[in-house]
Amino acid sequence: MAFDIFAELPKLLWLVIAVAAFLAVIGVLLLAVDGGPRTRYDWWQATCFLAPAGILLLTGLVYPVIRTTVLSFHGPGGDTSVGWDNYVWMFTRPEILLVLRNTFLWVIFAPVLATATGLVYSVLVDRSRYESIAKSLLFMPMAISFVGASIIWKFVYAFRPANADQIGLLNQLLVWAGGEPRQWLLEGPLNTLLLIVVLIWIQAGFAMVILSAAIKAIPAEIVEAARIDGVNGWQQFWRITLPSIWPTVTVVLITISVQTLKIFDIVRTMTGGQFGTSVIANEMYSQAFRYGQLGHGSALAVFMFLLVIPLVLIQIRNARRTREAQSL
Amino acid sequence: MSPPRTGPDPAPDRTAAARPSAAARVRRRLSGTGASAAAIIIAVLWTLPTAGLLISSFRPEDQIKGTGWWTFFSDPSLTLRNYEEVLFGGTSTRQLASYFVNSFVIALPTMVFVVAIAALTAYALAWMNFPGRDWIFIGIFALQIVPLQMSLVPLLSLFSDGLTIGTTQVLPAWDLQGAFQFTRVWVAHTIFGLPLGVFLMHNFIVQLPKSLIEAARADGAGHGVIFRRVVLPLIVPALVSLSILQFLWGWNDLLVALIFAGGSVEVAPLTVRLAEMAGTRGEEWQRLTAGAFVSMVVPLIVFFSLQRYFVRGLLAGSMKG
């Protein structure tokens, strides 16, 4: 059967109807706002403006967070209470401990290496003649999907037996160097590190963009003064550039860490979580949606949430400190 | 080709030369060759994997499977067959064109929904006068930290069973068929995109000059009119930034689509199909390489044409938790 454009029409029709209906509702809302009573407080208007987001967030995030927490103390079907069993399961089963170890590896390596690469690169290309092109090259992976990136790297890691021509770049380099080709994605814990490379490849561009903006904001007087004092480039990087942008560096590190904790697409596309590469997010998906273990899945989700919270608290504290520093 | 500079306006250049950034100095002091070599090595490492896949996607099947893409340079042969096959050819389950349409049908409305609702909410939180305003803002800000995974199981059961409190059916079950199945994906994406969306829009809207809003109030304009006539035109760049980010998130997402769209050719987006192909047909490189590029073409066009807005959105959202 060839591609049939007419089979796609209902989708497009529903798209147009849905968007038009939505915009009509918003339009009516905007008109209704000004028809309401005028008082000292904007009660009526605020209710109209906040209602759509309020309803969606309450049903889609607030209620589910409570429900998932409750489910994490229940059995597979979500109806019988099992106390802390799901959490005990999580911290005693070797295969889940492996999942936790992998997540730990991800959170240690991905944020640090992505941020370091982004920082070094933004310093190296800053104000060079090809700055914008050079930055686009590093930044481009940010635009594509994790699935697309995973396929790109699966190809780099592709394996052919030693007597055949290699099609994966990594094995070809190994062969040229006189080694034997290896099945990169099957050998733990190396395979987890190779998956982490994919996330570093994606996130370095993000780190570079944010850090590059911070570097450009360093006051010229400071740099000027340092130069008069006769510091060399190396000292200047460690004593001036890095301390000046340190708050931004931590912001970038934490933002990437939070995303890393939730990483799912790369693991699922490249190995499906097999060969000892699974992480919390992938295991949560497998438990809840493939094995029907709602309790196990929910406990994993709650644990992930607990890991994210301290990171975000640091983030908020940093943000407040920066704002206070700026307002002085 | 640039004309020699003789004009009377070298001012921007002069400021740029007089105030090079810290990094520029570091680079200069680290001295040319070593630093440029390092920069070039990083750039090559970051570009080569994509280039390899792109070149492969245009090579004939037996060559992709038999030799490395680098042999293309000594033995070049190009074909569009992989794309033709992966997009339109073969049996109905293999064609990507349908999934391509699905990706659009998922990403476009989500983008409209999130941007519109986020702008409304952010305006109310920034410029309306009602008690509890700051607490609501903090509440929405805090929701950014909730991982999607916390919400998937309950939200899915809300869609399929509805919500019953006691014996009263508060929300009906959504038994959606055909194209209507997209509705669940839209709603889910909109919910997950809102906290950051509201935060980004609030950052922009709260910076509008107070006098502007107050003057309009004094003229008797209600909030509906102010939002439409005064605020919306001023925040167009912010709307564009958020639209791009949200579109790309919708387009590139795998998890939400997996859960709420399932894997059927009717509603599943490209990412779901590609992930499936990578799993079950992991050795069919001619399909995977071409398929990956089909999925990347739209984000790359958006990226290269609107990079400025994309970066601006990321910068504004970089405080995201």
Can you give the length of chain B in residues? 321
Is B50 in contact with A301 (Cβ distance < 8 A)? no
Please tell me which residue, A323 or A198, carries the higher pLDDT value: A198
- Nearest CB to B194 within list A42, A53, A297: A53
Q: Which of A61-65, A103-107, A231-235, B302-306 has the lowest mean pLDDT?
A: A231-235
Label residues B93-132 b or e (16+ Cβ within 10 Å = b): ebbbbbbbbbbbbbbbbbbbbbbbbbbbbbbbbbbbebee
CA A242 to chain centre: 24
Asked whether the beta carbons of B96 and A6 are under 8 A apart, the reply is: no
Is A244 in contact with B22 (Cβ distance < 8 A)? yes
Closest CA to A198 of A270, A133, A134: A270
Mean pLDDT (whole number) for A116-136: 87
Is A11 in contact with B105 (Cβ distance < 8 A)? yes
* H-helix or E-strand spanning residue B122: helix B97-127
Using the Cβ of B239 and the Cβ atoms of chain A, whether some distance falls under 8 Å is answered with: no
Mean pLDDT (whole number) for A36-50: 78
Q: Which of A191-200, A246-255, B171-180 has the highest mean pLDDT?
A: A191-200
Query: Hey, which CATH number is domain A85-327, 1.10.3720.10, 3.30.360.10, 3.40.50.300, 3.40.640.10?
Result: 1.10.3720.10
Q: Which of A104-113, A306-315, B132-141, B159-168 has the lowest mean pLDDT?
A: B159-168
Give Rg (Cα) of chain B: 25
Which residue has 């592709």 as its token pair? A158
The Cα A104–Cα A203 span in angstroms is 18
Mean pLDDT (whole number) for A7-19: 87
What is each CA distance from A203 to A147, A210, A326, B187, in whole angstroms? 14, 11, 28, 28
How is residue A281 written in tokens? 């997010």
Report the gap between the CA of A64 and the closest CA in chain B (Å).
Answer: 5
Closest chain A CA to residue B154: A64
Mean pLDDT (whole number) for B166-184: 78
The Cα B149–Cα A262 span in angstroms is 8
Mean pLDDT (whole number) for B225-239: 90
DSSP assigned state of A81: B
Using the Cβ of B217 and the Cβ atoms of chain A, whether some distance falls under 8 Å is answered with: no
pLDDT digits (tens, 9 = 90+) for B126-154: 988 888 888 898 888 888 888 888 899 89
pLDDT at position B6, please?
41
pLDDT at position B16, please?
44
Asked whether the beta carbons of A155 and A132 are under 8 A apart, the reply is: no
Is A155 in contact with B56 (Cβ distance < 8 A)? yes
Tell whether the model's pLDDT for residue A146 goes beyond 90: yes
C-alpha atoms less than 13 angstroms from C-alpha of A218 in its C-beta half-sphere: 30
Closest chain A CA to residue B259: A289
Q: Which amino acid belongs to residue A191? A: N
Q: Which amino acid belongs to residue A201? A: W
Chain A to chain B Cβ contacts (< 8 Å): 408
Tell whether the model's pLDDT for residue A87 goes beyond 90: yes
Please tell me which residue, B31 or B304, carries the higher pLDDT value: B304
Which residue has 């509805």 as its token pair? B162
* H-helix or E-strand spanning residue B57: helix B32-57
The Cα B266–Cα A49 span in angstroms is 34
Give Rg (Cα) of chain A: 26
- Measured between alpha carbons, how far apart are the two ends of chain A, in Å? 68
Percent of chain B clearing pLDDT 70 (strictly above): 86
Is B131 in contact with A41 (Cβ distance < 8 A)? yes
The Cα B80–Cα B84 span in angstroms is 6
Mean pLDDT (whole number) for B164-169: 73
pLDDT band of residue B11 (cuts 50, 70, 90) is very low
Mean pLDDT (whole number) for B290-299: 91
pLDDT at position A3, please?
62
Q: What does pLDDT average to over chain A?
A: 87
Partners of residue A261 in chain B, C-beta under 8 Å: 147
Q: Which of A146-150, B46-50, B272-276, B307-311 has the lowest mean pLDDT?
A: B307-311
Using the Cβ of A107 and the Cβ atoms of chain B, whether some distance falls under 8 Å is answered with: no
Q: Where are the domains of chain A?
A: 5-72, 85-327
Q: What does pLDDT average to over chain B?
A: 82
Please tell me which residue, B200 or B265, carries the higher pLDDT value: B200
Tell whether the model's pLDDT for residue A251 goes beyond 50: yes
Please tell me which residue, B102 or A319, carries the higher pLDDT value: B102
Report the gap between the CA of A24 and the closest CA in chain B (Å).
Answer: 12
Mean pLDDT (whole number) for A231-238: 80
Using the Cβ of B208 and the Cβ atoms of chain A, whether some distance falls under 8 Å is answered with: no
Mean pLDDT (whole number) for A196-212: 93
The Cα B268–Cα B102 span in angstroms is 6
Angle at A287 between CA A281 and CA A289, to 5 degrees: 95
The Cα A229–Cα A302 span in angstroms is 53
Is B224 in contact with A33 (Cβ distance < 8 A)? yes
Partners of residue B101 in chain A, C-beta under 8 Å: 8, 11-12
10 Å Cβ neighbour count for B141? 20
pLDDT band of residue A318 (cuts 50, 70, 90) is confident
Report the gap between the CA of B181 and the closest CA in chain A (Å).
Answer: 10
Using the Cβ of A262 and the Cβ atoms of chain B, whether some distance falls under 8 Å is answered with: yes
pLDDT band of residue B94 (cuts 50, 70, 90) is low
Which residue has 């944010």 as its token pair? A210
Mean pLDDT (whole number) for A212-226: 86
- Nearest CB to B121 within list A53, A125, A155: A53
Using the Cβ of A286 and the Cβ atoms of chain B, whether some distance falls under 8 Å is answered with: no
How is residue B259 written in tokens? 């859960």
| β-bridge pairing B163-165 and B168-171 | antiparallel
* H-helix or E-strand spanning residue B171: strand B168-171
The Cα B180–Cα B77 span in angstroms is 44
The Cα A58–Cα A250 span in angstroms is 31
Can you give the length of chain A in residues? 328
Picking from A12, A47, A56, A257 by the largest number of B CB atoms within 10 A of its own CB, the best residue to mutate is A56
The Cα A93–Cα A86 span in angstroms is 11
ipTM of the complex: 0.89
CA B72 to chain centre: 33
Using DSSP's 3-state secondary structure scheme, residue A219 falls into: coil
Percent of chain A clearing pLDDT 90 (strictly above): 42
Tell whether the model's pLDDT for residue B13 goes beyond 50: no
Helix, strand, coil % (nearest 5) of chain B? 70, 0, 25
pLDDT digits (tens, 9 = 90+) for A280-315: 999 999 999 889 889 999 999 999 999 988 888 887
